[in-house]
Amino acid sequence: MKTLASRYYGLVALAVVMALLPLALPNAFYYDVAIRIAINAIVVIGLNLLIGYTGQISLGHAGFFGLGAYASAILATHFNWPAPVALAVGAVATGLLAFAVARPILKLKGHYVAMATLGLGIIISIVITNEAKYTGGPDGIAVPAFSLFGLDIAGEKMWYGVVAALLVLVTWFALNLIDAPAGRALQAIHGSEIAAKVVGVDTTRFKVRAFVLSAVLASIMGSLTAHYVGFVTPGLAGFFHSIELVTMVVIGGMASVFGSIIGAALLTMLPQVLSAFEGWETVIFGAILMLTMIFLPRGLVPTLRLRLGKERT
Amino acid sequence: MLAAFLQYLFSGLTVGATYALAALGFSIIYNASGVINFAQGEFIMLGGMSAAVLVTAGIPLPFAILLAVGIAGLAGLLVEKLAIEPARNAEVVTLIIITIGASLFIRGLVQVFLGKDTHSLPPFGGETPIAFLGATLLPQSVWVLGITLVVVAVLGWFFGRTLLGKAMLATSHNKLAAQLVGINTRMILLLSFGLSGVLGAVGGIIVAPITYTSYDAGIMLGLKGFVAATLGGLGSGVGAIVGGLLLGIVEAMTAGYISSAYKDAMPFVLILLILFFLPRGLFGAKVTERV
Amino acid sequence: MTMLAVNNLSKTFGGVKAVQGVSFVIKEGTIHSVIGPNGAGKTTLFNLITGVYEPTEGEIVFNGENVAGRAPNELARRGMSRTFQNLQICMNMSAIENVMVGAHLRLNQGMFAGMLRLPGLRRADVACRHEAAELMRFVGVGKYLASHASQMPYGALKRLEIARALAAKPKVLLLDEPAAGLNHTETAEIDALIQKVAESGVTVVLVEHDMKLVMNLSDHILVLDYGKKLAEGTAQEVRANPDVIAAYLGASA
């Protein structure tokens, strides 16, 4: 059975991999992929908390990511606010929005939650596309560098250090949470909401907290992405991005922290692999989605764990 | 004043009819399997695109339409057989991802083989706009509404009078009970996907002369069809039709009176509001969980 | 002293009067059974008491406080625990985690404390794990300590659910058909377990169909029929009551 000790081996392994990885990265392009993987992994760990552990579907999470990205972009570019402040404001604003809609949405059943979160994400992305005066419309706007106390985070090596450290930190938080009473409460909500209620869990409050937490995390990573890339476009908040994030959760493994990281890694690298098949990317992506979900419905990491577990006994 | 209002109403009803047919497709599949078929939009697109390409290739319109409907129906059957059936016991999120994968697959294939251009169909009969109380009505709109009415009537007869239709309804109410009385529920599921493909295709074909079509037309159409189905209450046939028409009208009114830039956002604002106040949609069944 | 009192409790679903004007009293430290033919309203009564349904009318007085209409988690906070007719085990968690969830109210310090792994929380959690293991042994599923819920057989899961309910250290334990789906041996084991629980000071209320179990265990029995109270009393009194016999066996013409 999974014990906290065995999970900590995973965390240490992750830290080691992240520390040693730069030795294997030959140039800036590879750093870029690694950075994007780390960013996605952090967002997906948060999303997995909601989908995998608490069992709530969210098909609009990119909306929160986009809110953070554009908050940072607009405040830093149009109003010259310092980057950390813009990031914080974006996170708070996203948190408030998530909090406002969470209660009514999470009271809905199954597919209706999917529809509501889908709708929210699309509304956000349409607003971003239309309010061109601030957002630059479909073309987007440029974003200045992230500056903290006069020091710019610039260049792939610095960014890699920042996001790698963040990833290890967020993974640690997530592993702790799962093994804490609050984490068990979340899983219980997924397993049987009525059972969770009768043991005293305020299920609505927990669902709302999980929703807001994952939304704020997405917003923060959106802000950082804006500064890293130096540019924001409405696609960051779009339906397809939301689907990508959910796919990372499902392929890596629902209710698995390391699954989230693996899922993010695989799906971030996929477009690079697919670009060789010019024109056929969409077809292949669709095929991969279907095949993975049909043959590995639990996702990669839980399936591997099961197989390895069986071989040991 | 009145003229403008009527204009928006007509165009709203016209596009609303497509949404209604899409919503019916969603509801039929949802009833048979509990799955939300995100590939529904691609069935609509397949109908319009196939017909357009066939007509361009020289096939007479009526045959092109029949073939296109057949193609979309076949696509529905294949999606069920190859993608849904192997994973039928999976969790909701997994099934949703599978249908999204199917929609990408179909859309990708159309993009590769038929290109990214927009296509259109010739109007079914008559090109001169009809004047009505100051508003102009395209003849194609009349075709759209007329055909939709016929389709709905046929469906009503099918589900109400034929054994097969009743078997489908029985499966949607209680799958286990249906199986126990000898209904082949696997076949029913297959049929529901095929039927939804056909319905979607019809919707796509009848508006193609007005709104044109392209490889990515399915995305928004599918999503809005989903909204319409949810609006009316997932699984309710009447709800799907009412939801679709209502959605089309709200969209047209928004475009006309408020802002055409936000017309695409309106369906989603509407569904959020409805879900907050009527969690089961307009006609959704009230279900209490037995513990 | 009275642990739980129900006054004139009613629940109507649309046109169906599931429970009509039921009143009874449960004394502390007793084993109280609710019986009746299928559809008599037993589970509805349970669901009303435990906050799953809101009453249409009437009072539920728990420990001197009217708790009618309160949510299940609020009732848990006041010392009420229950199991379910259709097992509500979290199949996505391990056996011991299922039991540990039962202690949620005593342990939980919120999500941030959880994420930061505060030392006080860690120690409490380790203690909780020991307690959960003890409880699993108490109810007789000790051999599943390292198992996942999905690997356990039905009978064991029924007992696991009781362990979970006990983890909350409740004052009142409501068991909804604890013997449903169990064979003779397993039912006898449940019988012994329920007696052990009652001996430890917990007031037990159960809904059951297995008459042998009910007659053997109960200090007091409440009989429901068509949502109304048909009779109540000790096992002997209820067994001899002609109305009860008629309800179960049908009156001879």
The subunits that touch chain C, with at least 3 C-beta pairs less than 8 Å apart, are A, B
Q: Which residue has the tokens 């009208």?
A: B249
Residues C55 and C156 in one domain: no
Show the tokens assigned to A10. Answer: 């995973």
State residue B95's pLDDT score.
83
CATH number assigned to the domain comprising residue C74: 3.40.50.300
Q: Do C86 and B290 touch (CB under 8 A)?
A: yes
pLDDT digits (tens, 9 = 90+) for C79-106: 999 999 889 999 989 999 999 999 998 8
Residue B284 domain-assigned? no
A57 touches chain B (CB under 8 A): yes
Residues of chain B contacting A283 with CB distance shorter than 8 Å: 104-105, 108-109, 111-112
Residue B270 domain-assigned? yes
Residue C153 domain-assigned? yes
Q: What is the dihedral of CA C113, C116, C121, C126, to 10 degrees?
A: 140
Q: What is the DSSP letter of B26?
A: H
Residue A100, exposed/middle/buried by CB under 10 A (0-12, 13-18, 19+)?
exposed
Q: Which residue has the tokens 């909701």?
A: B92
C73 touches chain A (CB under 8 A): yes
State residue B180's pLDDT score.
84
Local confidence band at B291 (pLDDT 50, 70, 90 cut-offs): low
Residue B234 domain-assigned? yes
Nearest chain C residue to B290, by CA: C86
C88 touches chain B (CB under 8 A): yes
State residue B290's pLDDT score.
57
Residues C117 and C63 in one domain: no
List, in sequence order, every beta strand (DSSP E) within B91-129: none
User: Whole-angstrom distance between the N-terminal and C-terminal Cα of chain B?
Assistant: 56
State residue A100's pLDDT score.
93
Q: Do C84 and B288 touch (CB under 8 A)?
A: no
Residues C119 and C153 in one domain: yes
Residues C145 and C178 in one domain: no
Q: Do A182 and C113 touch (CB under 8 A)?
A: yes
Q: Which of residues 35-74 of C touch B (CB under 8 A)?
A: 43, 47, 52
Other Cβ atoms within 10 Å of A66 Cβ, number: 33
Residues of chain B contacting A293 with CB distance shorter than 8 Å: 87, 90, 94-95, 97-98, 101
Q: Give the structural domain span for C107.
A: 90-169
State residue A312's pLDDT score.
47
Smallest CA–CA distance, residue A135 to chain C, in Å, is 34
The C-alpha atoms of residue B96 and residue B88 are separated, in whole angstroms, by 11
Q: Give the structural domain span for B218.
A: 2-277
Going from N- to C-terminal start, the domains of chain A cover 26-312
Smallest CA–CA distance, residue A115 to chain C, in Å, is 25
**What is the arithmetic mean of pLDDT over C202-227?**
89
Q: A132 near A78, Cβ under 8 Å?
A: no
Q: Is A280 helix (H, G, I), strand (E, B) or coil?
A: coil
Residues of chain B contacting C84 with CB distance shorter than 8 Å: 291
Local confidence band at B92 (pLDDT 50, 70, 90 cut-offs): confident
pLDDT digits (tens, 9 = 90+) for B140-179: 888 888 888 898 888 888 888 888 888 888 887 777 888 8
Local confidence band at C137 (pLDDT 50, 70, 90 cut-offs): very high
Residues C156 and C180 in one domain: no
The C-alpha atoms of residue B260 and residue B257 are separated, in whole angstroms, by 8
Show the tokens assigned to A51. Answer: 């989908």
Longest pairwise C-alpha distance within chain B: 62
C116 touches chain A (CB under 8 A): yes
Residues of chain C contacting B290 with CB distance shorter than 8 Å: 86
Q: Do B223 and A118 touch (CB under 8 A)?
A: yes
Residues of chain A contacting B268 with CB distance shorter than 8 Å: 118-120, 122-123
Residues of chain B contacting C43 with CB distance shorter than 8 Å: 291
Smallest CA–CA distance, residue A168 to chain B, in Å, is 27
Residues of chain C contacting A11 with CB distance shorter than 8 Å: none
Count up the domains in chain B and report the number.
1
Residue A237, exposed/middle/buried by CB under 10 A (0-12, 13-18, 19+)?
buried
C12 touches chain B (CB under 8 A): no
Select from C85, C93, C101, C152 the residue whose CB has the most chain A CBs within 10 Å, as the one to mutate to test that interface.
Answer: C101
Residues C109 and C157 in one domain: yes
Q: A211 near A57, Cβ under 8 Å?
A: no
Residue C214 domain-assigned? yes
Residues C147 and C175 in one domain: no
Residue-by-residue DSSP string for C107-121: H---HHHHHHT-HHH
Residues of chain A contacting B87 with CB distance shorter than 8 Å: 293-294, 297
Residues of chain A short of pLDDT 70, as ranges, are 1-7, 309-313
Residue C20 domain-assigned? yes
Residues of chain B contacting A107 with CB distance shorter than 8 Å: 279
pLDDT digits (tens, 9 = 90+) for B175-208: 788 888 888 888 888 988 999 999 999 999 988 8
Q: Do A192 and C102 touch (CB under 8 A)?
A: no
What are the C-alpha distances in Å from A28 to residues A35, A41, A146?
Answer: 10, 20, 19
Residues of chain A contacting C49 with CB distance shorter than 8 Å: none
Q: Which of residues 194-213 of C touch A (CB under 8 A)?
A: none
Residue C85 domain-assigned? no
Q: Is A59 helix (H, G, I), strand (E, B) or coil?
A: coil
| Confidence check: pLDDT of B243 > 80 | yes
pLDDT > 90: percent of chain C: 43
Residue B289 domain-assigned? no
Residue B24 domain-assigned? yes
Longest pairwise C-alpha distance within chain C: 72
Residue C6 domain-assigned? yes
Residues C153 and C187 in one domain: no
**What is the arithmetic mean of pLDDT over C126-152?**
92
Q: Which of residues 146-165 of C touch A (CB under 8 A)?
A: 146-148, 164-165
What are the C-alpha distances in Å from B207 to residues B44, B65, B145?
Answer: 10, 12, 10
Count up the domains in chain C and report the number.
2
Q: Do C47 and B288 touch (CB under 8 A)?
A: no
Write the CB contacts of A126 (distance below 8 Å, at least 6 apart in sequence): B262, B264, B265
The C-alpha atoms of residue B23 and residue B19 are separated, in whole angstroms, by 6
State residue A309's pLDDT score.
67
The most confident of B31-35, B67-71, B167-171, C233-237, by mean pLDDT: B67-71
Q: B230 near A115, Cβ under 8 Å?
A: yes
State residue A3's pLDDT score.
55
The CATH class, in words, for A26-312 is mainly alpha
The subunits that touch chain A, with at least 3 C-beta pairs less than 8 Å apart, are B, C
Other Cβ atoms within 10 Å of A6 Cβ, number: 9
A104 touches chain B (CB under 8 A): yes
Residues of chain A contacting C76 with CB distance shorter than 8 Å: 197-200
State residue B289's pLDDT score.
55
Residue C65 domain-assigned? yes
Nearest chain A residue to B281, by CA: A112
The subunits that touch chain B, with at least 3 C-beta pairs less than 8 Å apart, are A, C
Q: A87 near A153, Cβ under 8 Å?
A: no
Write the CB contacts of A245 (distance below 8 Å, at least 6 apart in sequence): A40, A43, A44, A47, A61, A62, A65
Residue B223 domain-assigned? yes
CATH number assigned to the domain comprising residue B20: 1.10.3470
Nearest chain B residue to C43, by CA: B291
Which of B90 and A117 is assigned the larger pLDDT? Answer: A117
Nearest residue, CB atoms, B87 vs list A109, A254, A294:
A294
State residue C253's pLDDT score.
43
Residue B251 domain-assigned? yes
pLDDT > 90: percent of chain B: 22
Q: Do C85 and B291 touch (CB under 8 A)?
A: yes
Residues of chain C contacting B291 with CB distance shorter than 8 Å: 43, 47, 52, 84-86, 88
Q: Which residue has the tokens 């293991």?
A: C133
State residue A108's pLDDT score.
81
- Residue A4 is inside which H or E element, if any? helix A4-20
pLDDT digits (tens, 9 = 90+) for C6-61: 988 999 888 888 898 899 899 888 999 999 888 888 889 989 999 989 999 899 99
Nearest chain A residue to B110, by CA: A283
Residue B283 domain-assigned? no
Nearest chain A residue to B36, by CA: A111
pLDDT digits (tens, 9 = 90+) for C154-192: 989 999 999 999 999 999 999 999 988 888 888 898 899
Q: Which of residues 262-291 of B touch C (CB under 8 A)?
A: 288, 290-291
Residues C184 and C156 in one domain: no
Q: Do B234 and A284 touch (CB under 8 A)?
A: no
Residue A131, exposed/middle/buried by CB under 10 A (0-12, 13-18, 19+)?
middle
Mean pLDDT of chain B: 85
State residue C37's pLDDT score.
84
Residue C84 domain-assigned? no
Nearest chain A residue to B265, by CA: A123
C101 touches chain A (CB under 8 A): yes
Strand partners, C26: C4
Nearest residue, CB atoms, A294 vs list B86, B93, B103:
B86
**What ipTM describes this predicted complex?**
0.89
